[in-house]
Structure 1
Amino acid sequence: MAIQILGMIWHREASEIIPATKTFDKNYIVKIAQAHEQAGFDRILCGYWSDQADGFLVTAYAAAHTSKIKFLLAHRPGFVSPTLAARKLATLDQLTDGRLALHVISGGSDIDQKKDGDFLNKQERYARSAEFIEVVQKTWYSQEPFSYEGDYYHIVDAYSEIKPLQTHLPIYFGGSSIEALQVAAKHVDIFALWGEPLAGAQEQVETLNQLAAQHERQLDYNISFRPIIADSESIAWEKAQEIYQLSKKQLENFGLQAARKKPQSTGGQRLLAAAGQGERLDTNLWTGITSLVQGSYNSTALVGTPEQVAESILQYYKLGIHGVLIRGFDPVQDAIDYGRELLPQIREKTEKYDQQQQLISA
């Protein structure tokens, strides 16, 4: 199958190396969304933060200023009724002409969840996510009123006239704990991994494939990296060190100590454990920023020429991971550079691999 290449957008210019100067910038939403569309990305993620702009509205605004690129909207269950969330998502899918997918994130930090008034523990949050997905899908696809009785949601005679434009609206899901894997295996379409070394990613895929088989299901997979590319390998590694120093300086200048605390999420702990194995893993997986921020978010990078980075992504594709989310440290310019130099290489290598596999199986 053709690889799906995702990017990421947000509501203001900011990154590890670019200090935020605005709280909200609607022109930047247009700029970064259009940059990804022109670069040839398939889909862009709009993330979720407990203290930032609403992703539903950011996605709607970005969609109104693009025509082809698809969207992946992150949403945390627990703050909006699943029946209402389903109608909001169906409406947004209609507005975007069927370009929407949903990324359900249960929340990896008790502290962050409490900021929005959620005091469930991690295990309870994943159980709630499973019920949330069940109710959302019933709301989308039921042709008559339905009732639902769960531990977290009790619904009587729910029905929504508004449905997604798509016959099936894709659901992404992440999380590395056993609770997360069990929810993913039973309920979702695409499982999202952070950028682990090949051995760790293979372990995750094999475990999930076994769990999904118990439900007679098959999952697709997506993995995330922060590519650092340049015309030569040596220049790319020099660029990585510059990014490290700028990121370190910004952490020190702005006192972002929260990014240096040991992560509560299992995924973050796995990234941090990988970083403990070394700064350079596999061929060109770099964990410098991961160590700096203590694995608190997706922070591993693939470093090298576009051809070298594409070759590394191909190795994950061979594991059955047919989607990759790539975002840079200079978000707009990196998206432009990826479109010019990296995306064509990724597609060429994965298409060639698919052709070879077809010949073998013929």
Structure 2
Amino acid sequence: MSVRVIGMIGVEPPKGTTLHVIAGGVSPSFLKEFAQTHENAGFDQVLVGYYSSSAEGFNVASYAAAHTKTLSYLIAHRPGIVSPTLAARAAATFDHLSNGRLSMHIIAGVTDKEQESEGDFLSKDDRYARAAEYLGVIRKLWTSSTPFDHAGRYYRFNGAWSAVKPLQQPYPKLFFGGSSEAAIEMGAEHCDCYALYGEPLKETAERMADFRRRAAKFGRAPGFNISFRPIIAPTEGQAWDKARKMLQDLENAGLPRHAQDKSAERMLAIAARGDVHDERLWLPIAKATGAKGNTSCLVGTPRQVADAMLKYYELGVGSFLIRGFDPVADTTEFGRELIPMLKAGATELDRAAAA
């Protein structure tokens, strides 16, 4: 297993210490620069996020892919906003035009209110049930050699067919996240990688073991991704000072303090037990922001943070989504030492395991 490092790109320059990079308008020059900064820093892939009001992800990724050579794109996608037949063809087309640089992250929406702004009035559990049917149709479109009919709870097709199949076989990797029973059921049946928030090692190992059991019922052996916000500095003391300064900046911004979903509720419950877990995992920013936007931090020197990440790699986590609160500068900083140390450490662990 070789480790992969995922970042996150946005379309408009962020201002100051920030949680998010996908709101606002579109700056083509910034998007190009941000994608190239990730590629130059040694990232393997970047997430293209989704809000109901944000720039459309396939177009964002297409533009970025045209200005990069090796960087892959994890496009967030909400089933139900477009037909699965169109989504299947769009994804397969992008996969060819990018030379196989596509993965998709399946999400059912953050809140009912946001979904309603797109004309979607299903409850969250129903959205996950629809997503399961949607992915079943898409996977069949990607792999079927003949047209097929489908009559389900949410979709009906006669002679569904896509002449364009993905370049990656059998199809691009499907990620998903979520802690609700409906989310996990959907992911166990249809998705290839379970994306987790950065929880302590014990809780992470338990969640991975549970999901492996669920996926095994469908004959699937899933991968795992985990998200962190590294806060690094040349010395450990400087790193902790930097972390506390970021917390102060975010609190001064008046950010929301309520949980949005089951994953955020889990994180807030863990944060209530203490600020620091497993030496490096620091959760006050998660607590201050309602655990929004992957706010689990790892604090220390690049070596200390890389070693902390490698403990998750030893559990079976194959990829890490990392981003900072100063998005462009942090991307460059991660590439200097943290990413090379993480990749070198994973290679050494692989060699030891093979021996």
Amino acid at match of 1:217: R
| 1:152-171 matches, cutoff 5 A | 152-167=154-169, 168-171=171-174
How far apart are the structure 2 equivalents of 1:22 and 1:82?
27
Q: 5+ residue gaps in structure 2?
A: none
| 1:60-209 matches, cutoff 5 A | 60-167=62-169, 168-209=171-212
Q: Identical aligned pairs, as a percentage?
A: 43
Aligned with 2:232 (options 229, 233, 239): 229
Question: In 2, are the aligned partners of 1:12 and 1:23 still within 8 Å (CA)?
Answer: yes
Quote the offset at 1:16 in angstroms: 7.0
Quote the offset at 1:34 in angstroms: 0.1
Q: Secondary structure at the match of 1:226?
A: strand
| 1:1-362 matches, cutoff 5 A | 1-14=1-14, 17-18=17-18, 23-167=25-169, 168-251=171-254, 256=255, 259-263=256-260, 265-359=261-355
Equivalent residues, number: 352
How far apart are the structure 2 equivalents of 1:110 and 1:196?
26
Amino acid at match of 2:95: D
Question: In 2, are the aligned partners of 1:9 and 1:44 still within 8 Å (CA)?
Answer: yes
Question: In 2, are the aligned partners of 1:13 and 1:28 still within 8 Å (CA)?
Answer: yes
Amino acid at match of 1:103: H
Q: Deviations over 1:273-297 (max 9, x none)?
A: 1111111111111112111111133
How far apart are the structure 2 equivalents of 1:151 and 1:207?
28
Higher mean alpha-carbon deviation, 348-357 vs 226-235, is at 348-357
How far apart are the structure 1 equivalents of 2:250 and 2:16?
5
| Residues 115 and 204 (structure 1), Cα distance of their counterparts in 2 relative to 1, 3 Å cut | same
Q: Deviations over 1:77-121 (max 9, x none)?
A: 111000001111111112211101111111232122112121111
Quote the offset at 1:261 in angstroms: 2.3
How far apart are the structure 2 equivalents of 1:262 and 1:338?
29
Quote the offset at 1:320 in angstroms: 0.9
Quote the offset at 1:18 in angstroms: 4.7
Q: Secondary structure at the match of 1:318?
A: helix
Question: In 2, are the aligned partners of 1:123 and 1:179 still within 8 Å (CA)?
Answer: yes
Question: In 2, are the aligned partners of 1:101 and 1:172 still within 8 Å (CA)?
Answer: yes
Q: Deviations over 1:276-335 (max 9, x none)?
A: 111111111111211111113311110000111011111111111111110111111111
Quote the offset at 1:15 in angstroms: 6.4
Question: In 2, are the aligned partners of 1:44 and 1:72 still within 8 Å (CA)?
Answer: yes
Amino acid at match of 2:125: Q
Question: In 1, are the aligned partners of 2:229 and 2:297 still within 8 Å (CA)?
Answer: yes
| Residues 22 and 105 (structure 1), Cα distance of their counterparts in 2 relative to 1, 3 Å cut | closer
Q: 5+ residue gaps in structure 1?
A: none
TM-score, structure 1 as length reference: 0.94
Task: Indicate the RMSD between aligned Cα atoms, in angstroms.
Answer: 1.6
| Residues 346 and 142 (structure 1), Cα distance of their counterparts in 2 relative to 1, 3 Å cut | same
